[in-house]
Structure 1
Amino acid sequence: MNEKIPQQSLKGCKPEIHYPCVWQYKVIGMERQAIQAALSKKLGDAPYSLSESRTSKQGKYISLNLELTVHNEEQRLHLYSALTADPSIKLVL
C-alpha cells in the first residue's frame, strides 16, 4: 500500500546516499555549447554523460541531463556549487 507521508514530517530528513554512486544533475542554460564548455572546464577528464532533456516553449532555455559518478558528499556538493557559479548555467537541479 502506498501511504502518503505529510510534507511537514519530511522537513529535516536527509536521504541516505551510499557513495560512490551515479548522480544526475539537470543543468539549465541558454546555449548548449556554452553549457558544454563550462562542464568540460569544471569536470576535466572525469567521465560523464550528457543528454538533452528539453527546450523551453519559446526556445530561450535548454535543459541537459548530466550524469556522472560521485565518490562522496563533498565532491557532489562542490560540483553543484561550481556549476551554479558559472555564468553560462542559469540553474542546476
Structure 2
Amino acid sequence: MEIINDSTQKLELEYPCNWTYKIIGRERQVLEQAVHDVICERAHTLEHSNQSCSGTYLSMNLDLLVHNEDDRNFIYEALKAHQNIKMVL
C-alpha cells in the first residue's frame, strides 16, 4: 500500500491558539523537569498519555497557548533539543 500526500496546502491556524505537543521520554519526573526547563513559568498542562508495553518509554501531552507560528516552532525545537526528551510529535 502506498500513501501519497499530494496536498500543497499549508496548515492555516489562527493565533493565538492552544497547541498540544506529545513528548516521549523514559521517566515522568525527568520529562516534567525538561518541560519546565523549556517553557519556565508559562501556563500549561502536562498529562500522562501512554506507556510502552515494556515500560521503557512513556508519553505525555503538553498543552499550552502559542502566540504565533514562530512561537510554536521555537517550543517544538527547544523540546526536541532537550537531552531528556527522546521525541516530540
Normalising by structure 1, we get a TM-score of: 0.88
CA distance in 1, matches of 2:10, 2:59: 26
Instruction: Pick from 16, 22, 31 the counterpart of residue 20 of structure 1.
Output: 16
Residue 14 of structure 1, CA deviation: 1.5
Q: Alpha-carbon deviations, 1:56-75, whole Å to 9, x = none?
A: 01000000000000000000
SS of aligned partner of 2:48: strand
Residue 31 of structure 1, CA deviation: 1.0
Residue 41 of structure 1, CA deviation: 1.2
Matched residue pairs, number? 87
RMSD, matched Cα: 1.2
Q: What is the identity percentage for the equivalent residue pairs of Structure 1 and Structure 2? A: 41
Structure 1 stretches of 5 or more lacking a match?
A: 1-5
Q: Confirm whether residue 71 of structure 1 aligns to residue 67 of structure 2.
A: yes
Instruction: Pick from 56, 79, 83 the counterpart of residue 79 of structure 2.
Output: 83
Residue 88 of structure 1, CA deviation: 0.5
Once the two structures are superposed, the pairs formed by residues 37-76 of structure 1 within 5 Å of their partners are: 37-76=33-72
CA distance in 1, matches of 2:46, 2:31: 10
CA distance in 1, matches of 2:11, 2:37: 29
Instruction: Pick from 6, 9, 17 the counterpart of residue 9 of structure 1.
Output: 6
